[in-house]
Structure 1
Amino acid sequence: MPTVSVIIPTTCEERRWSSLQRAIASTRASEGVDVKVIVVVNGKRFDAAKLAELRARPDLTVAYREEGSAPLAQRHGRTLVGTEFFAFLDDDDEYLPQALAQRCAPLLADPQLGFVATNGYRCVGGEDRLMVSCAAAVRANPLAALARENWLASCGGLFRTSSIGPVYFDDPAPFLEWTYLAYRLALDFNMAFVDTPTFRIHDTPASLSKSDAYRAAELDVLRRIAALPLPAPVARQVRGKVGAACHDLADQARMAGRYGRAVALHARSLLLPGGWRYLAYSRKLLPFALKRPAAAS
């Protein structure tokens, strides 16, 4: 029976307790695999009684990090893995039945695979929506497919421990870290994509993906991705996405009255692949460009 560690980062707050219990239960219910659950409590907002309850459970390995960071908690959890495979699960998401066994099958069948990614659901307003719309594109060219959609959800992968070491979780992007990781892994390893849904992400208004910081971080993450040794066609795709991010941020800056930053970002968008699409937008910024030099802030 294959052995799998599932790393669950959590703030262990009272308001997240029920969803954390659901996440743990969905992991413990896995069939066909020997599961070890590693809960990494991070930050100072934890409920002391709930943390004590977790630590009292013999079926869990519980670690604590004072710094509140899900990516760093994931990285710490990776250092605690002693099983053949490992995976991650956010404390507000859940695995579907047979999730881990379905992911293990390709890795057991082909020792050349470094990891497996699967499809899953995003639950919005009680309605399940399929995460990855074109599995065929992912299977044909995983790197190129990332320009269309990220196929590696935080709870959607299974990784071979002997191949994917803690170094891949060092220096994580503060947001969009799974898109960045998907590019890195697809560059270095063979992978398989399983189109069967194996997880459910519960989308809420409080999700980090809704925050302003998340949106603002997109440009920096795309620049990090563009610096990777990507094949030329993929590199051009990524640079085009950098241009689109510059355009979006330029419009946000203009609406906020930060005209110098808006002009600078708009100028960058014009110089990147597909920049011609934003040329007409120049008329909205031309008066400000003529008044003072563009300077990003």
Structure 2
Amino acid sequence: MAGISVIIPTFNRAGRIEKAVESVLAQDFRDFELIVVDDGSEDDTLEILRSYPQVHVLPQKRQGVSAARNHGAAAGSGELIAFLDSDDLWLPSKLTVQADFFANNPEALICQTGETWIRRGKRVNPRNRHEKPSGQVFERSLELCLVSPSAVMMRRSLFDAMGGFDESLPACEDYDLWLRIGCRHPVHLIDEPLVIKHGGHEDQLSAMPGLDRYRIASLVKLLENQPLTASQRAAAAAVMQKKCRIYANGCAKRSRDEEAEFYQAVARHYENGPPQSQTQKENSPP
């Protein structure tokens, strides 16, 4: 039994995985297990991982980052779960600071730390709209994902209760989970930059085109299935309609008329809020 299960999902990251792993092994908090799920890598990632006897390596066929994270969490034994993306790094005190937070706040279920952003090798300052809130994050997180997987630690009981990451989403799976959590529970912020977040490389999921269609799918699912308050429901419907119209306009400009019509219809459907009888399946984007 470990106090914290650290989960790293990875795919074809032979050039980066060593630094991520070593940043975990260098933690001054020692009561952890490190589980790395290799999601069907075709480069030397798996061979590099097997050179670390301290790491529990779980190879799987290519299933996506959600399945990899869920697989790793299911294999772990820690009461607390922390995730690290394989292109990010932790400072040595990251686990200690968050473990202390949970020890001092037994009612807390999830927290995240601050980050230092490195883009294409250069440090950048986040814009004001990227500033992380603390506590009730739901409405601010609808427009833009303000919770980072590499910065999060949560109680296993919460992860299990929420059903983990949605494996049907090839991207924006973190946006989806944080909204499902945030509509019910506060997400606490430890305002220390204990994560070095690297961005700007081509193999990031955030570089995929058309990401808003996955955010729209997440919002539809949220509106249909989650116990939202009236204000949460109104805010989620408004953001979903806005994203639908922007995405539909983009489809129309590219002569994807059928897709544009679909998203326009989804936006109209939620003008007066979602009918309670409508199912997620009937409204899920193609």
In the TM superposition, 1:1-297 aligns within 5 A as: 3-11=3-11, 13=12, 16-43=13-40, 45-47=42-44, 50-125=45-120, 126-130=122-126, 133-135=130-132, 137-139=133-135, 141-165=136-160, 168-169=163-164, 171-172=166-167, 173-203=169-199, 204-227=201-224, 228-266=226-264, 268-269=266-267, 272=270
Counterpart Cα distance in 2 of 1:105 and 1:273: 45
Query: Residue 267 and residue 148 in structure 1: after superposition, are their counterparts in 2 closer, same or farther (change >3 A)?
Result: closer
Contact 1:106 1:192 (8 Å CA) reproduced: no
* Alignment gaps of 5+ in structure 1: 275-295
TM-score, normalising length from structure 2? 0.82
Counterpart Cα distance in 2 of 1:267 and 1:162: 38
Supply the AA of the counterpart residue of 1:253: C
Query: Residue 247 and residue 163 in structure 1: after superposition, are their counterparts in 2 closer, same or farther (change >3 A)?
Result: closer
Counterpart Cα distance in 2 of 1:259 and 1:159: 43
Supply the AA of the counterpart residue of 1:138: S
Query: Residue 271 and residue 123 in structure 1: after superposition, are their counterparts in 2 closer, same or farther (change >3 A)?
Result: same
RMSD over equivalenced CA pairs, Å: 2.7
- The count of aligned residue pairs is 268
Contact 1:42 1:68 (8 Å CA) reproduced: yes
Counterpart Cα distance in 1 of 2:187 and 2:103: 12
Deviation of 1:265 after TM superposition, in Å, equals 3.2
SS of 1:147's partner is helix
Query: Residue 19 and residue 53 in structure 1: after superposition, are their counterparts in 2 closer, same or farther (change >3 A)?
Result: closer
Supply the AA of the counterpart residue of 1:98: S
Contact 2:16 2:86 (8 Å CA) reproduced: yes
Deviations for 1:23-82, whole angstroms, at most 9, x for unmatched residues? 0111111113423211111125243xx524422422110111113311101000001111
Query: Residue 34 and residue 205 in structure 1: after superposition, are their counterparts in 2 closer, same or farther (change >3 A)?
Result: same
Supply the AA of the counterpart residue of 1:200: I
Contact 1:118 1:152 (8 Å CA) reproduced: no
Supply the AA of the counterpart residue of 1:77: G
Deviations for 1:239-277, whole angstroms, at most 9, x for unmatched residues? 111111111121112111233543453455456569xxx
Contact 1:4 1:33 (8 Å CA) reproduced: no
Identity of aligned residues (%): 21
> If you compute each CA radius of gyration, which structure gives the higher value, 1 or 2?
1
* Alignment gaps of 5+ in structure 2: 273-284
When structure 1 is superposed on structure 2, of 153-162 and 125-134 the one drifting more is 125-134
Contact 2:162 2:181 (8 Å CA) reproduced: no
Structure with the largest fraction of helix = 1
Counterpart Cα distance in 2 of 1:99 and 1:241: 33
Contact 1:138 1:151 (8 Å CA) reproduced: no
Query: Residue 265 and residue 79 in structure 1: after superposition, are their counterparts in 2 closer, same or farther (change >3 A)?
Result: closer
Contact 1:4 1:84 (8 Å CA) reproduced: yes
Contact 1:114 1:164 (8 Å CA) reproduced: no
